[in-house]
Amino acid sequence: MTRLAALTRRELLAYFYAPVPYFILCLFVLLTGNFFYSGAVVHGSSTRASLEPGVVFHTLQFILLFLIPLLTMNSVADERSRNTIETLLTAPVTDAQVILSKWTGTFLFYLVMLVPTLVYVGILRQYGAEIGKPDLEPVLGAYAGCLLLGGFYISIGVFASSITENALLSAFLAFVILIGLLVLEIFRSTVADIGGVFGDALRGAVEYLPQTGHFNEFLTGKVALHDVLYFVLGTALFLFLAVRSLESRKWR
Amino acid sequence: MPAIEVQGLVKRYGARTAVDGISFTIDDGEIVGFLGPNGAGKSTTLRILTCFQPATAGVARVAGYDVFTESVQVRENMGYLPESTPLYTEMRVRDYLDYRATLKGVRRRDRRAWVESAMERCHVSDVADRIIGHLSKGYRQRVGLADALVHRPKVLILDEPTSGLDPNQVRDVRDLVKEISGGTTVLFSTHTIPWVEQVCRRAIVINRGKIVADGTLPELRRMVEPWSRVEFRVTSDPAAALRALEAVPGVLLAENLTAGGEPRLRILAETAGLDGVVSAARAALGGGIDGEERSPAAFEDLFTKLTRGRAIQEAA
């Protein structure tokens, strides 16, 4: 436990030592602020719907599509390119501890990124009064969704970073996986008429795999077990793959 | 109980065999130089001993633990400085060592004291609060050493600890290794002979994945005693002359020493039949000889002879 804590602490601190994470943090605030302003203040000042957290958080799944890979790109790839992976893995720590600390450290930084968004919620609660305050459940649901979505994206980023020593390539890879999941939806009508077990499987995949549907549920305040499971299992899967990829040095 | 025990170790990368069935034993407290040219299999062997990579076959034990089945115990009892000294350059020296000490399981109440003593032993206390990336290469090397020994391991494994350093820094690190050893077993790899002669009592020479010599320095020096060097100053093309000399029977090793002006070549041969070999060499060179000088073989000749592919085939 001490080791995992030490690893995680270094991981988190590394984000504050480097310039790129600050840039990402600023970009994140700028983008969410923009969507908040255009969604809630400019266009939606008179409608009830504009007060829902979805106004800010709906776009999060797309913003994070770009930002998370930039955040995680260095996590393992950088250890490889600097060869600190050798000092790291010859210390008495397990590969799983290393990957878990990469994920946790990034997740903690992501929490830091989310903090400024509380301002938007505050503004809605304070000044949305004329047309009714936004309910608390959707807000809580939205944050639960944000945590799960972020954790899932980060696990994909860490995995992508674990299979290469080139940080930019790893960012690109994470981006491709994330966008690949997202655009599965466009095949919806294409696979609609395919018969048999194969067709069912395809339809199931197109229906279930994209993150959007699961995430949007949270924004309406509905926290359903199967949506939670989607993110938790997805995160676990990619972390598992990342551990395997780190272990691969042993059977190459 | 030996500190390091290696038996029939093999490492293959696909079709390439990097380490080809090596065996050796290092006793507690020994300082051993692991010599070999680049690509001989030194780093691969050390990576197996440090549990970074598994071997294809064979057994290796460090500090009494098996590197395959008891890898955590091995890593707790072993300090490793990889080649090129990887460090987190954005961290400060003390913070880095404290982090490493935690990873290596140094208890909280000992940590501060052990980090300070590691910094003292490696002479980096004066830069404790500096950022590693701002330090000179010599200092970084010492930070790497401090990291390797911060958890007071029984065995230290150093991979090319002086590569890329200037002569003064090399001397510093060399003295440091002698200093810090005090009871600790040290295995370090290098391709420079003076290092070995000044730091350790024993050397293991590896070439093309195989051990070609293993002994104390006096033993190894004795191997060189029956040999002599003969140096020729030639007037002809040195490259062609070298090929001619290599073909002469009895020549153990031929080297081209030409630097700048006059072409010089040196051969190594048994002192016993030296006259015969020299006249054969003169004949092979034709007329273009300007001078000839005989001297006893030096220790480094052994290394050169053992690690040159052609010389080995000849000896075998």
Percent of chain A topping pLDDT 90: 50
The arithmetic mean of pLDDT across residues B203-230, rounded, is 88
Residue-level pLDDT at A43: 60
pLDDT, mean over chain B: 87
- Per-residue pLDDT tens over the stretch B266-280: 888 888 888 888 888
Record: contact A6-B72, CB cut-off 8 A: no
> Where does the pLDDT of residue A47 fall: very low under 50, low under 70, confident under 90, or very high at 90 and above?
low
Residue-level pLDDT at B269: 85
Residues B86 and B137 in one domain: yes
Record: contact A93-B103, CB cut-off 8 A: yes
Q: From chain A, pick out residues whose CB is under 8 angstroms from the CB of B72.
A: 92, 94
- Per-residue pLDDT tens over the stretch B30-51: 999 998 888 889 999 999 999 9
Residues B210 and B237 in one domain: no
- Tell whether A98 is within 8 A of chain B (Cβ): no
The arithmetic mean of pLDDT across residues A48-54, rounded, is 58
Which of B215, B236, B258 represents a domain boundary (last residue)? B215
Residues 190-219 of A with CB under 8 A from B: none
- Per-residue pLDDT tens over the stretch A188-235: 777 777 777 777 888 878 878 888 888 888 887 788 898 999 999 999
Record: contact A92-B104, CB cut-off 8 A: yes
Residue B130 lies in a domain: yes
> What is the rounded CA–CA span in Å between residue A48 and residue B229?
97
Record: contact B100-A83, CB cut-off 8 A: no
Nearest to B230 by CA among B195, B265, B182: B265
Region of residue A210 (phi > 0: left; psi between -120 and 50: alpha; otherwise: beta): beta
Record: contact B88-A14, CB cut-off 8 A: yes
Kindly tell me if the per-residue pLDDT of B315 is higher than 90: no
- Here the ipTM equals 0.86
pLDDT, mean over chain A: 86
More confident residue, B55 or A54: B55
Query: Is the four-CA dihedral A137, A143, A147, A153 of positive or negative sign?
Result: positive
More confident residue, A200 or B208: B208
More confident residue, B8 or B264: B8
Q: From chain B, pick out residues whose CB is under 8 angstroms from the CB of A249.
A: 52-53
Which of B168, B194, B215 represents a domain boundary (last residue)? B215
- Per-residue pLDDT tens over the stretch B218-233: 888 888 888 888 888 8
Record: contact B54-A86, CB cut-off 8 A: no
Residues B200 and B258 in one domain: no
- Per-residue pLDDT tens over the stretch B234-263: 877 878 888 888 888 888 888 888 877 778
Nearest to A232 by CA among A146, A110, A149: A149
The arithmetic mean of pLDDT across residues B191-218, rounded, is 86
DSSP A43: I
Residue-level pLDDT at A52: 62
Residue-level pLDDT at B233: 83
Residue-level pLDDT at B114: 96
Q: How distant is the alpha carbon of residue B205 from its chain centre?
A: 8
Q: From chain B, pick out residues whose CB is under 8 angstroms from the CB of A17.
A: 90-91
> What is the rounded CA–CA span in Å between residue A63 and residue A80?
28
- Tell whether A2 is within 8 A of chain B (Cβ): yes
Record: contact A17-B80, CB cut-off 8 A: no
Residue B305 lies in a domain: no
More confident residue, B102 or A184: B102
Domains contained in chain B, number: 2
Residues B138 and B248 in one domain: no
Q: Which of B16, B50, B52 to mutate to test the interface with A (most CBs of A within 10 A)?
A: B52
Residues 194-253 of B with CB under 8 A from A: none
Nearest to B252 by CA among B281, B220, B227: B227
The arithmetic mean of pLDDT across residues B66-87, rounded, is 93
More confident residue, B183 or B65: B65
> What is the rounded CA–CA span in Å between residue B88 and residue B144?
10
Domain range holding B50?
4-215
- Tell whether A4 is within 8 A of chain B (Cβ): no
Among the partner-chain residues A86, A92, A94, the one whose CB lies closest to the CB of B105 is: A92
Record: contact B86-A14, CB cut-off 8 A: no
Kindly tell me if the per-residue pLDDT of B313 is higher than 60: no
Percent of chain B topping pLDDT 70: 97
- Tell whether B87 is within 8 A of chain A (Cβ): yes
- Per-residue pLDDT tens over the stretch B118-139: 999 899 999 999 999 999 988 9
CATH number for position B205: 3.40.50.300
> What is the rounded CA–CA span in Å between residue B224 and residue B306?
11
- Tell whether A90 is within 8 A of chain B (Cβ): yes
> What is the rounded CA–CA span in Å between residue B52 and residue A87?
9
Residue-level pLDDT at A134: 63
Residues B31 and B168 in one domain: yes
Distance from the B126 Cα atom to the nearest Cα atom in chain A, whole angstroms: 23
CATH number for position B252: 3.30.70.920
The two structure tokens encoding residue B41: 């299999």
> What is the rounded CA–CA span in Å between residue B266 and residue B295?
10
